[in-house]
Amino acid sequence: MKPVKVGLLGLGTVGTGVVRIVQGNQEDLSSQVGSPIYIERIAVKSADKARSIEIDPAKLTTDPWAVIRDPEIDVIVEVMGGVETTREYILEALERGKHIVTANKDLMALHGTEILAKAQEKQCDVFYEASVAGGIPIIRTLIEGFSSDRIVKIMGIVNGTTNYILTKMSQEGASYDDVLKEAQQLGYAESDPTSDVEGLDAARKMSILGTLGFRTNVELQDVSVSGISGVSKEDIQFAKRLGYEMKLLGIAESQNDEFSISVQPTMIRASHPIASVNGVFNAVYVYGEAVGETMFYGAGAGEMPTATSVVADLVAVIKNLKLGVNGLKQIVPYKQKKLKSDDDIYFKNFLLLHVDDKAGVLAKITQVFAECDVSLDSVVQQANPNNPNAEIIIVTHDASKASMNKVLRRFEELEVIRRVKSHYRVEG
């Protein structure tokens, strides 16, 4: 049995997990694919760095091109990160007929269509299960499990950092700043958490899921993004009082081949299955026309969960290699992109208004909603001993995004409104 030789780009957290699994499970993996799997060469930043696994130093190189251009290597596993330079490595590897496994969400979100087209041209595999939701096999599920269905909605908690922060704020009544500091100390958040807390990481992942789910080229700029840095513990308390949980949700919806896609803090009904996903865990809810509701839950990051997805992709590539069917499972977007206009995007809204505490204020506010064609589900006015203004809590029925934007513009001109303290999408 001729061994399959693998080139590994990157030996950080995930790369170490990949080596650990391939070395530790060699017998099981070899029996699945019909030949031994050898990690032949590994590109690293420093060949002298101390490592937690045993590696033959002769396999290490600081030159990724040496791995890409090695004629003995059949498959490139990319877990080094980066975008533009990594794109060059991947395209060159495909040009040379090498198959690709990557965990790089940034690369696939920004250049996935180009890479998949090159793979199709060269009849190579590009698998990227680990790029979204770590250990959850959601990409393979969308490609294979939903191949006969039409996906209507994808809703996901796809960033563990923000889910950890919102969970702690909800369960302990802690402030955003305090929980963020704790998350950084525990290693759940980066020293610069911007990509996570402002929704950019989740947006990249949702663009990948949207592309696969809707079979069209969903680009990063198509995703409407807002993060959780403005969420207060008071907002979460209001949500819980109304029977909701606060989550940073990626939401992609398709109707008549037109789609909308967003990432935003969302109040989700507490009875919805995704509302119970807490801590650093991820979940992806998928609604198909035929199958109805489904949900996939698991670890969204970490060495071994992510490495498990990477090695599963590696096994799939090698099985295809043995059968001579590489390049047949690439999902290259084929539908024309049609983004929904704001007039066609409907959802419920939660608003917390600080207003003058005097007669007639509520009537003026409800008049604005009526004139903008937004109907109200509930309105509660209350006094707050810590606020000289009155507080009005409003939940709307489904309203178009365009109509709600009109309401918010009108509120800027309405003298009785001191400020719109909070505005969130409501689901469930």
Q: How confident is the model over 277-334, as pLDDT tens digits?
A: 999 999 999 999 999 999 999 999 889 999 999 999 999 999 999 999 998 877 778 8
Who contacts 349 (Cβ-Cβ below 8 Å, separation ≥6)? 374, 394, 395, 396, 399, 404, 423, 424, 425, 426
pLDDT confidence of 22, banded at 50, 70, 90? very high
Please, which pLDDT band fits residue 199 given cuts at 50, 70 and 90?
A: very high
- Distance CA(242)–CA(395), nearest Å, equals 10
pLDDT over 90 (residue 269): yes
205 has catalytic annotation? yes
Q: What is the pLDDT of residue 323?
A: 92
Domains and CATH numbers, the chain: 4-133+303-323 (3.40.50.720), 138-299 (3.30.360.10), 347-427 (3.30.70.260)
Percentage, residues of the chain above pLDDT 90: 92
Task: Convert the pLDDT of each residue in 164-175 to its tens digit.
Answer: 999 999 999 999
Q: How far is CA 16 from CA 20, 23, 24, 253, in A?
A: 6, 11, 12, 37
Catalytic residue among 168, 205, 340, 406: 205
Q: What is the mean pLDDT of the chain?
A: 95
Say what the pTM is.
0.94
> For a pLDDT cut of 70, what percent of the chain falls above it?
100
Q: How far apart are CA 42 and CA 25, in angstroms?
A: 19
pLDDT, tens digit (0-9, with 9 covering 90-100), for 93-133? 999 999 999 999 999 999 999 999 999 999 999 999 999 99
